[in-house]
Amino acid sequence: MNNQAEAPSSGVLSRRIRILAWLTLVSQAGIVITGALVRLTASGLGCPTWPRCTDQSYVNTPEMGIHGYIEFGNRTLTFVVAAIAVLTLIALWKIRRERRDLWTLAVVLLFAVPLQAVIGGITVLSNLNPWVVGLHFLASAIMVALATLMVRRVSDSGAAPARVVPPVVSRLGWAILALMIIVVVNGVMVTGAGPHSGDHGAARNGLDPTWITRLHAAPVYLLVAATVAALVLTARSRRAAGADQLAEPRRALMTLLIVELAQGAIGYTQHFLHLPVALVVLHMLGAVTLIAAAVAAVDSMYQRPPLMQLPDNGENTPSSASAETL
């Protein structure tokens, strides 16, 4: 009887938290973009201290000008992210035992918010040390990856995953994930060597911009090659076996390839145009999209039974299909 009582809650809440999951992903990506705007407008010290904005005030003052508004606006978004995380936990409370996967992701994302805020505070107190700034972005990148997993988890039953691609494709998937991490970390170092420091008096990391940019580009080619190889092998396997479960990995890999090519084109263009602000912001958005697309592509290779949609008459009868393994 207890299982029958909990199952309806699972179906109802899974529909409700789908919106919260997407809000989590959008807000995590949004805080990366607003952070980029802080850096690109030289507003990194718009609030020159932390946790206060000034020695006397927790909020910016008109005397601080536009830089104060931009920096304080970025800080304020942290509370929006935290509120979404709390609402997600509340929505998951009744099924926290039934859906430990969602509950764990939600808890980690909530406790990551104050950790990220502390790193942001150290960034300000260290006068925008480029290595701390880079750590600040990498923390957000991890949160984007976790939020992507949450978006995917709210559409499945929470059962154990089954690999649906050939072993060679799954190995390529993990190579794609590793290369994506290398590309992102190298991109952080390129940013630390570039001209957009967040404040006119902030230091740079001392790396040669030309050489670190070349180092950043090299694994991008490998990432694209690994994605193309995984896509071709998945398409061949699907034609040979007629397996419907390969449709999702194929779509996810195609999406990832499009994101990679677009991000590479933006990266080269901004480099040769000497880093115009608009293109740098677009490149940051591309970086967040790349992280989400890579995580989604690898996760699609290990599918879980889908969560059946609730009928239109409102009856709470969720169930799941059985997993298939190749």
At which residue do the structure tokens 């990679």 appear?
260
CA distance linking residue 67 with residue 265, whole number of Å: 31
Residue boundaries of the structural domains of the chain:
1-155, 160-307
Whether this prediction's pTM lies above 0.85 is answered by yes
Given a cut of 90, whether residue 175 has pLDDT beyond it is yes
* Polymer length in residues for the chain: 326
For strand 162-163 and strand 302-303, is the pairing parallel, antiparallel, or unpaired?
antiparallel
Of 73-82, 257-266, 303-312, 314-323, least confident by mean pLDDT is 314-323
At which residue do the structure tokens 């740098």 appear?
280
CA distance linking residue 191 with residue 205, whole number of Å: 9
At which residue do the structure tokens 């290398």 appear?
182
Tokens describing residue 202: 């902030």
Instruction: Quote the percentage of the chain above a pLDDT of 70.
Output: 88
> What is the rounded average pLDDT of the residues 261-282?
94
Measured in degrees and rounded to the nearest 5, phi and psi for residue 129 equal -55, 125
- HSE (side-chain half, CA atoms, 13 Å) at 212: 17
CA distance linking residue 151 with residue 146, whole number of Å: 9
Tens-digit pLDDT profile for residues 117-149: 999 999 999 999 999 999 999 999 999 999 999
Of 2.60.40, 3.40.50, 1.20.120, 3.40.630, the CATH number of 160-307 is 1.20.120
CA distance linking residue 78 with residue 113, whole number of Å: 7
Tokens describing residue 71: 């920096």
Cβ neighbours of residue 19 under 8 Å, at least 6 residues apart?
A: none
- Give residue 311's pLDDT: 39
Q: How far apart are the first and last CA of the chain?
A: 35
Greatest mean pLDDT among 16-20, 42-46, 172-176, 273-277 lies in 172-176
Using 50, 70 and 90 to split pLDDT, how confident is the model at 296?
very high
Cβ neighbours of residue 212 under 8 Å, at least 6 residues apart?
A: 186, 189, 190, 193
- Give residue 298's pLDDT: 97
Rg (CA), the chain: 22
Q: Residue 221: name the closest of 192, 188, 264 by CA.
A: 264
- Give residue 313's pLDDT: 38
